[in-house]
Structure 1
C-alpha cells in the first residue's frame, strides 16, 4: 500500500519531499498499465502548474493529487457520467461544491475517473471506455467494483490520495472493499449534491475513498465543510453489534474468514460485540420492490435522453433505468412513506448500539471476463450485481452513514469490514473506525 495523505503531507512539511515531485509520481502511475481505463480525461500540465504553487503547501491537501469521478461538474469540462450519450454536452461553467472544496483545500485534480455508466451498477463494467482492472490482482483482471470504479483504482494504485465519488447503493464502499482501501459514505445531507449528475435524488451521496481512516476523516471535513468531533476513546467504550439477518448469508470463504478474524481482533482490543437478529433488514427488499427510488428517479431524469439516444446506452444500464417507467405516482408516494416507517423501526432496533459491523460485500472481486459486456454473460452480471449491493444498500435506504475498511490478511484478496449506523452518526463511526483500523493492523500483518 502506498503512503497515505497524512504521511506524505508530513514529509512535505518536513522538507523531505515536494508537491511537484509527488505530482510527477502520481502522473507516472496514472500513465502506467495499472491505470489503464482508469481516467477518461487527464489534466497533467495543469496539475503540474498547480502543484508548483507554493501557496498550496499550507493547505490541508498540500498540493497533492486527487481524482474526480466523471459524475461531477468541473469548470470547462463536460460531465458525461461514463457515457457516450453526453459526450457532446456543453462543458460546466463552474466547479460543483465538492470539487471546489477539494481545490480550495489545496487538492490538485489530475483527472476525471471512469465509472459504471450513469452510476448504475455495483460491478464497475463500462462497455464504452473499458473497465479498470482491480488494483489488488495484477495477474488476473478482476472487477474494480462500482460505480466509482476508476476513483477506487486511482487511490489504490497511488495515482490519487483522494478519489471523489458517489454512493447511492454502495458505489463508494463496494470498490473500496474490493480494492483494499477505505471508503466512507457520509449522511447524504452533509455534502451538497449540486453539480453532480443524479442517479437517485433520494439516495445519492457525495463522498470519497482514501488509503486510511485518518485520510477519510480529513476528506469528509473538507467535503462537508465542518469539523469532526474527534475522540480517542478506546474500543471498549463503544457497544457494537453484528446483525445476523441477511448480511452474513452466503459469504465467500475468504470473506467469512476475514470477517470472523476481524471480530476476534476487535474483541481482543476490548470491543464489546453482540450478535443481534435485526430482522427489519429483510424488509428492504419489500421497500425497494419494483426498482425502488433509483429506477423511478433515474427514469424521470433520463426519459428524454432514452427516447433520443437509448440505443447508445449500456443495455444493462438501460434495462434497469427503464424499470422506473412502470412505477405509478401512488406507488412512488407509498415508497416514500414505507421508507420513512422502516427507518423509524430500524432506529428503534439499533438504539443502544454505537455501530453495527458487517462484511461490506459478501464476495471477493470476480474476474472481469465472467461479467464483461455480452448477452451470454448478462445472467451472471444480474446475479453478481445485487449481491455486491446487498449489504451496502441497506445503509442508503436507512439514510445512514458507513465506512468500509480493509480487513483481509496478507496474501488474501481484499475484503471490507463495514461499520455503520443511522443518519448523523458520522463522527462516531469515523472515530470507531480509526480504532478498529489500528486493532486490525496487527492481525493483518501476522497472517
Structure 2
C-alpha cells in the first residue's frame, strides 16, 4: 500500500469538507463519524511522527457498510424498521480489527435493504449514483461502499458479498473488489443475509490495498503482496452460459484481456462448468439459498403485511417462508455435494477467468419503474458473480481497460486459495494497466 505524505488528519479533513458541502444531498453515506475519525487520524499522525506504526492501514480512511455493528447505535442494514432495534454493546469483529490496525473509520455507507438486491436501489434512501456517472446504477448491495471508494471519500471500503455484493458494485465503479473464501473473515457483528453464503471483503483501487485489508479482516499479518507471474499458469475459461448475453464492449474487452494473459505466458484452456451450474439451478427451483435462509432470519416481521420493507425483498421472502425447513436442509446437502464436485472440476486449473458482469451500469431511470427491466438487469449482474458464493470459492474483480463505462475481469480460485489468487491478481492488474 502506497504511503501518502499527507497527514491522516489533513486527508480526513479534505474528505469531510467534500461531504459537508453536499450534506443536504448525501447519497453514499448513511452516517458519518467525523469526531471519532478526527481522534483516530490524530492518533495515527502522532504515531507517524515518532516512527511508530500499527501496520499498512494505519491512518487510512475507511468506510464500512451499514450492516456492521458499531457499539452504541442500531445496525440498520439499509432498513428503516431496524431504527428501534437493540443497540449492540460492541463493534463487529472486523470493525475492531480495523481500529486495532489504525484505520480511520469515516462513516457507514448506504446499501440495498438487508443486502438483498444487486442493482443498488433502496426505496428508503436516494440512490447513490455511480461514481463515474451519477445517472447510472451503482450496483449492490454494497452500493455506497463502491461509490465512496471510487469517488475518493475513503481510501478503502468494506462490504459484504453473498452473491456478488462486493464484486458487482466494484466492477461497475471501476474498482478492485475481493470476495474471500467464506468463513475466513469472521461474520460476528455483521447483519446476515444468508449465513451459508455470506463473506466480508474490501473494495479499493488496487489489489495491494485489498490484500492488505483482507489480511487485517482475517486476523493475519498484513505483509506486502508478492505478485505471482502468470507465465505457465493454467487458466480455465468457462465457455458457455457465463459468457452469454455480454455487451459488445465487454465481450471485446474480455477478449483483449485474455490476449494479454496469453501474451504473458498463461495457458488458457476452455473448461466446462455449465453442468454443475445447471444441477444447482435445479436444486434451487424451490428458491435461492439466499432467499430461503433470509426468510428464516426475517420471520419476525414477515407476518406483518404492512412492514415498511422494499417490496422486492418482502415479497420474495414471504414466498420463501412457505418452503419447509426439510426442503432447505436437503438443498444445503445437495449444495455441499456440488461444492465438492466443483472443487474437483477446478483442480485442473490454477484459476478460472470470466467477465465480472456481462453488462456495464445502466441508467437508474431504466430500472426504477420497469420491473421487467429491473429483473433482467439484476439477473445479469448476479449471474457470474454468484457462482463463487454458491460453490464456496474465492474471487476478485479487476477493472478492464478501455471501457466507456467501467467493467470488470473476474478471477476465481478454489476454496482457501485466497493468497494465491491475490498474488496472481496483482500480476494480472499490471498486465491490464499496460497500454
TM-score category (smaller protein): over 0.9
2:397 alignment counterpart: 404
Does the alignment pair 1:395 with 2:388? Answer: yes
1:151 alignment counterpart: 145
- For residues 306 and 400 of structure 2, what CA distance do their matches in structure 1 show? 41
Query: 1:274 aligns to what SS in structure 2?
Result: strand
Q: After superposition, where does 1:11-410 map in structure 2 within 5 Å? A: 11=4, 16-31=5-20, 36-53=26-43, 54-55=45-46, 57=48, 58-59=53-54, 60-138=56-134, 141-227=135-221, 231-279=226-274, 280-308=276-304, 310-372=306-368, 374=369, 377-409=370-402
Query: 2:231 aligns to what SS in structure 1?
Result: helix
Query: 1:312 aligns to what SS in structure 2?
Result: coil
1:420 alignment counterpart: 412
1:3 alignment counterpart: none
| Cα pair distance change 1:32/1:249, threshold 3 Å | farther
Alignment check: 8 A CA contact 2:31 2:107 kept: yes
- For residues 209 and 291 of structure 1, what CA distance do their matches in structure 2 show? 29
Deviation at 1:32, TM superposition (A): 5.1
The correspondence for 1:431, drawn from 392, 406, 423, is: 423
Deviation at 1:233, TM superposition (A): 3.3
Deviation at 1:289, TM superposition (A): 1.9
Deviation at 1:231, TM superposition (A): 4.3
Alignment check: 8 A CA contact 1:184 1:402 kept: yes
Alignment check: 8 A CA contact 1:245 1:281 kept: no
Structure 2 unaligned regions, length at least 5? none
User: What TM-score, normalized to structure 1?
Assistant: 0.91
Deviation at 1:333, TM superposition (A): 1.7
Query: 1:41 aligns to what SS in structure 2?
Result: strand
Deviation readout 1:109-134 (Å, 9 max, x if unpaired): 11110000000001110110111000
Deviation at 1:18, TM superposition (A): 0.7
- For residues 243 and 312 of structure 1, what CA distance do their matches in structure 2 show? 41
- For residues 326 and 278 of structure 2, what CA distance do their matches in structure 1 show? 23
| Cα pair distance change 1:30/1:260, threshold 3 Å | farther
Deviation at 1:26, TM superposition (A): 2.1
Q: Which moved more, 1:263-272 or 1:23-32?
A: 23-32
- For residues 203 and 310 of structure 1, what CA distance do their matches in structure 2 show? 29
